[in-house]
Amino acid sequence: MDEGTVTGGAGGGARRAELAANLADVRKRIEAACAAAGRDAAEVTLVAVTKTFPASDVRLLAGLGLTQVAENRDQEAAPKAAATADLPLTWHFVGQLQSNKARSVAAYADVVQSVDRPKLVSALSSAAVRAGRTLRCLIQVSLEEPGESGGPEGRGGVSPSGAVALADTVAGAGGLVLGGVMAVAPLGADPAPAFARLAEVAAAVRAAHPEATDVSAGMSGDLEQAIACGATHVRVGTALLGGRRAIVG
């Protein structure tokens, strides 16, 4: 594979330079946050959230060495994954997932970070077995306090008290591997207490399933707080790619 194939070819030079600068800045933030927390930066995986951005940006990021990519809408993710199938990417699905979309997502996703109910576990398991694939699944935990809204994006998630039981269900399902937990900090609140709650849930899940070591938490605005609370994966969109564009087809 030549460099033009990876990076999107001629004409992408300015965008590549922009993404390279943004990536360097994000990596510096991760390194600084890890140093402050007494952690090794190699413990934290950066996942690029490429929603609303074109496949050409995915190619540019891959050319810069960033091959962990996340999407939150199947109708955008499926064609983007198909358009970049020649690249060594790991695709993460991070949005709320309807059970009837499980078969489509199981065809391209390597990791589903938003598993929040037994019905979805069953659908993903059936789809993975049918496709002959293994999906790494993270339990999405709701960090909203009682009475709080999930926000405009309709953030899902199992209650902290239900996380271990759902993890048990994933661990026992064919075609699925339990990876750990994921969460989004509540809107308009200090993310640190929420991420501390997630760390407690993650510890409880690991106590039952020692292999479930992933803690996906933190985005562009709060990755430092997430890393301080033990995040192993941060999901970054805006800080890498810029402001959201119109939804691509």
CB 68 within 8 A of CB 90: yes
CA–CA gap between residue 48 and residue 61 (Å, rounded): 8
104-130 pLDDT per residue, tens: 999 999 999 999 999 999 999 999 999
Q: What is the pLDDT of residue 243?
A: 83
Q: Could you tell me the pTM of the whole model? A: 0.91
Q: Give me the pLDDT at residue 12, please.
A: 75
Q: Give the residue, 159 or 152, on which the prediction is more confident.
A: 159
Average pLDDT, the chain: 91
pLDDT at residue 109, as a whole number? 98
Which residue did the predictor score with more confidence, 244 or 192? 192
